[in-house]
Structure 1
Amino acid sequence: MKKIIIYSAPVAISLIWLIFTGHTFNPFVLKGPDFLRFYLILLFGFYASVLILKISGEAFSKAAFYGMIFIFILGVLKLIRGMVLEKPVGFLMLILILEFIVLMIIKQSHVNLFKKQKFPDGFKK
C-alpha cells in the first residue's frame, strides 16, 4: 500500500499542474512545450519515487513497472499524434528513446535479480 501511495504522488502532482496551467484533464490537447513540461514532471517524479523506494531497500514491484509502461505509452501516443499532425517531435522522441533504454536496463536488472532469488546456489533448474 505504501508503494502505491508513493507511486501515485508524482501522478497527482503532474495532474494538478495540468489542471492549473493547462486548464484541462486531458494531456493530449496540450501543445508541444506544455506537454513536454507535463511529461517531464510526470517522468522525473515517477522515476524519483522508484529511486527513493530502491534506496530505502524496497523491492522493485510490478506496479512500478506498469507505471513506467503507462508513462511510456502516453509519450508514444503523443508522438504518433504529433507525427500525424506533422509537428516537430524531436525532443519527445529523444526523451522516449532515453526512457526506453532506462526501462530495458531496469527490466533486465529485475529479471537477473529474480533469477538469483528463484534458484539459489546449489539448486539447478
Structure 2
Amino acid sequence: MKPIGPYVAVQTLPPPADGVAAADSPIQTLRATDRLTGIPVLLHVLPHAQGLPEVPSSPDLLPVVDSGMDGEHAYLVTELPLLAHPAQDPLLTARGALAALSALHAHGLAHGGVSRAQLWNYDGGVALA
C-alpha cells in the first residue's frame, strides 16, 4: 500500500456494519507501520484537515501519538500495542467501549465512528482507538 506521512499502510480495516450511522463516515482506518521505527500503529485518514481536539489520557483509549497532513488528507495516528488484537469478547468489549466513550464525553468530546475496527483487546481489557 502507499505511504501516508511517515507511515506505510498495511491493511484496510473494515468499516462499521451496515445500518450503523458511522457507516457513512469518511474516515478510513488502516493498520500501518511507522517507517522509521517499524512499530505498528492505527492510521486514521481524514477526508480534510480539521482541528484535532486534545484526547484525554485514559487506559480505555489508545493513545494518539501523531497527526499531520499528506497532500489534501489529514491523518491521526493511535498507538497499537504489540500484543493487541481485535476485541472479540462481547462483554469485555462493551465495558471497554462504554468506559472509553465515558472518558471522551467527560471532556466534551464525541468519537463519531465506533466500530469493530476501533476496539482492541490488550493488557486484559479493551481500548478504543
Quickly name the TM-score band, shorter chain normalised: under 0.3
| Between structures 1 and 2, the one with greater strand share | 2
Larger CA Rg, structure 1 vs 2:
1
- TM-score, normalised by the number of residues in structure 2: 0.27
TM-score when scaled to structure 1? 0.28
Identify which of structures 1 and 2 has the higher relative contact order when contacts are C-alpha pairs closer than 8 Å and 6+ apart.
2
Of Structure 1 and Structure 2, the greater helix share is in: 1
